Amino acid sequence: MDYMRLGRIAHPDGICFAIIEGDSDDPQSDKLVAKEIAGTPYTTPEPTGREWKLNEVRLLAPTLPTKVVALGRNYADHVAEVFKESAESLPPTIFIKPSTAVIGPEAPIKIPDFATKVEFEGELAVVISKVSKNIDPENWQDHVLGFTICNDVSSRDLQFQDGQWARAKGIDTFCPIGPWIQTDLNALDLDDHKINAYLTHEGKREQKQDSNTNQMIVKMGGILAEISQSMTLLPGDVITTGSPAGTAPMYDGDRIEVEIPKVGILANPIENA
């Protein structure tokens, strides 16, 4: 298949997968066009001939995963920031976010009243292309449709109160994914690629995350190999690779933007539930 960006949109007649064309990483750009495809992205995408300007339709999460499998504590700077320990003493851990937590670009992250310290975590993620088990770390690209962005929203108070992370990271709307899937697996240098996040609070936009995939402890092949040893991965499942340092609390009225060059910008407003 040719390299392309694949998204999922709500248009006047319903919902479909689409090829996103145009020269911009910003979903709000008027340069982008969504071209409907028949079926799903997990076969050869076939355009139907229908298209819309992207800023005239609504982008949804680009996949409907059966599960989002995440790697925690996979950036040394984030381990020190949140857990006050070294990466050597506190190795990465695997956890799952439920599919009910998934939302798309511009959908509100809703903070319930029982979560008192909610933080963003901007992360590079991949979307699985086929049924996969026991992935060879050297051949991980054979199992991946493309890159996307995940915001692993986390309630720090519940995370440390509960000991395990299911509730703190599994609350409805706590898993924004998007804006689309970048299918060129060679577009990013995974040993040296930027991850940025910007938080707007009380009208002031400030960069919070300013990091690089060179801080990743377990690399992409190792992540997919380790996860697929334990569980079968299905087409559309999302694997998110961990957050770098720079996470910060979010409040009602804020706006969070996670930007990974050559992948896109994932932006969401924050609301009280």
Same domain for 53 and 76, yes or no, is: no
pTM reported for the whole predicted model:
0.95
189 has a pLDDT exceeding 70? yes
Residues 133-168 pLDDT 10s:
999 999 999 999 999 999 999 999 999 899 889 999
CATH number at residue 206: 3.90.850.10
Same domain for 32 and 136, yes or no, is: no
Secondary structure (DSSP) of the chain: ----EEEEEEETTEEEEEEEESS-S-TT-TT-EEEEEES-TTS--EEEEEEEEGGGSEEE-S---S-EEEEES-BHHHIIIIISS-TTTS--EEEEE-GGGEE-TTPPEEE-TT---EE--EEEEEEE-S-B-S--GGGGGGGEEEEEEEE--EEHHHHHHHSSSHHHHHSTT-EEEEEEEE--TTSS-TTS-EEEEEEEETTEEEEEEEEEGGGBSS-HHHHHHHHHHHS-B-TT-EEE----S---B--TT-EEEEEETTTEEEEEEEEE-
CATH number at residue 20: 2.30.30.370
What is the structure's pLDDT at 72? Answer: 87
Same domain for 37 and 164, yes or no, is: no
Provide the number of structural domains found in the chain.
Answer: 2
Same domain for 106 and 221, yes or no, is: yes
Range of the domain at 197: 68-272
The whole-number average pLDDT for the span 206-225 is: 95
What is the structure's pLDDT at 85? Answer: 58
Same domain for 38 and 132, yes or no, is: no
Residues 64-92 pLDDT 10s:
999 999 998 898 777 777 665 555 545 68
Same domain for 182 and 245, yes or no, is: yes
Domain boundary among 25, 40, 59: 59
Same domain for 53 and 81, yes or no, is: no
